[in-house]
Homo-oligomer: A and B are copies of this chain.
Amino acid sequence: MSAARAASSFDKLLLKKIHRSIGQAPIRLVFSGENSSAADGAGMQTIVIHDRRTLARMALDPEIGFGDAYMRGQIEVKGDLVHALEAVLPAMHRLKKRSWYYRLISKWLQRVQGNTLNGSASNIHHHYDLNTEFYKLWLDPRLVYTCAYFPTASATLEEAQLAKMDLVCRKLRLQPGENIVEAGCGWGALALHMAKNYGVTVKAFNISSEQIQYARAQARKEGLDGRVEFIKDDYRNISGRFDAFVSVGMLEHVGREHYSEFGKVIRGAIGDSGRGLIHFIGRNRPQDFSAWMRKRIFPGAYIPALREALELFEPYEYTVLDVENLRLHYAKTLEEWLTRYERSADRVAEMYGAEFVRAWRLYLAGSITSFRTGQLQLFQIVFAGSACRQIPWTRAYLYSGEARMEKESEWIRAAS
């Protein structure tokens, strides 16, 4: 028996401290020294800490400590990871104050991951320039990497991503011949869907080279390269006038301190006569985004409260027409992603190694938890300028069932 691994009263103290700092969450914390020591939560799930260094790091800050230890395989979660996180995250969320260490790291990340033009390029590169082959392993065939919309609980992920893109188009009331600008277009699925099914022309911006290359190839393949232009540039460099503005899953990467710039860009693009839609992960109240997630997964990200997002529109007196919260749909989307991801875990390990596999597993599982328990929300906001003539009388047209469902099945058949 090595002295370093025996559970001392000091170890027990640390376990208790950790348990306090995760809000006394209903989970069992175990230090696996030979005389193993547990800090009890009554819960079914167990987190096993194997070494004293990890124990110390988790005592310093449970979130960053746990995240990095999980990534490195220095910690073991017995039972389902999502269930374990469901026990811990809401309890931690209720805590008023984070550790001094967390606050220090959080501030430091904020400083080094700022979303200047160069900063954004590097932040986006970190996540979205991973090989497209990697994302193909677990996204839908069109590579839509944002919350899907499941019209019914039995819809497949592919159907739900199509339904989401179409919901966005219908909310925008796209008319044939209109010019649309998209900020942050991923692999181009929405831009192509709009051009193909609604007869509009689209300029779509993105600063991920990998994604833009894929999107351009896709446009050529579908014969849409005359009507969809994919531009590798920052949203701040959007120029020209458009009938509508759309941005799905980009606001999270804009950064709190750049909202007024983003608002200005929208105004420049659609003036007083246009309308637009932003789709983004949001919160119930302002709060920093998880430091571990910023450190390992999404550098520079900030998740705004709905109220903060509205600051984009106020200076230009844009009218908010509709806000819909789809958080349960994001939980389900992420469940689908995690299932596919696990199926391909060996392939991911070959590509990026075991640490990467675990880090991304934790990101996906943690996101499921956050959407399920309401720490994260998914908002779609439809807005319009004061001179916009595209204001619907009611929202009933969004739900004129059968006709729409048929159209979607048609697209799915056509595409497969």
Contact = CB atoms under 8 A, between A and B. Distances in A.
Interface of A: 149-151, 153, 284-286, 305-307, 310-311, 313-315, 317-325, 327-328, 373-374, 377, 379, 386, 391, 393-396, 398-399, 401
A327 B321 CA distance: 9
Nearest to A374: B386
Contact of A151 (B306, B322, B323, B396): B396
The count of identical subunits is 2
B391 A284 contact: no
B285 A317 contact: yes
A195 to B, nearest CB: 26
Contacts of A313: 284
Contacts of A315: 285
Given A393-B153, A399-B396, A325 B319 contact: yes
A307 B311 contact: yes
B328 A284 contact: no
Contacts of A149: 394
A317 B286 CA distance: 10
A150 B392 CA distance: 12
A387 to B, nearest CB: 9
B319 A320 contact: no
9 contacts: A153-B393, A305-B310, A305-B314, A306-B310, A307-B314, A319-B325, A319-B327, A323-B323, A395-B398
B325 A324 contact: no
Question: 6 nearest interchain CB pairs?
Answer: A323-B323, A399-B399, A284-B317, A307-B310, A285-B314, A396-B399
A322 B323 contact: yes
Contact of A306 (B153, B286, B320, B328): B320
A151 B399 CA distance: 14
Nearest to A323: B323
A30 to B, nearest CB: 29
A163 to B, nearest CB: 10
Contacts of A321: 325
B151 A319 contact: no
Contacts of A325: 319-322
A324 to B, nearest CB: 6
Contacts of A398: 395, 399
Contacts of A391: 328
A311 B151 CA distance: 31
A229 to B, nearest CB: 32
Nearest to A397: B399
Contacts of A394: 149, 151, 399
A306 B328 CA distance: 24
A393 B307 CA distance: 23
A307 to B, nearest CB: 4
Nearest to A386: B374
Contacts of A318: 284
A323 B286 CA distance: 19
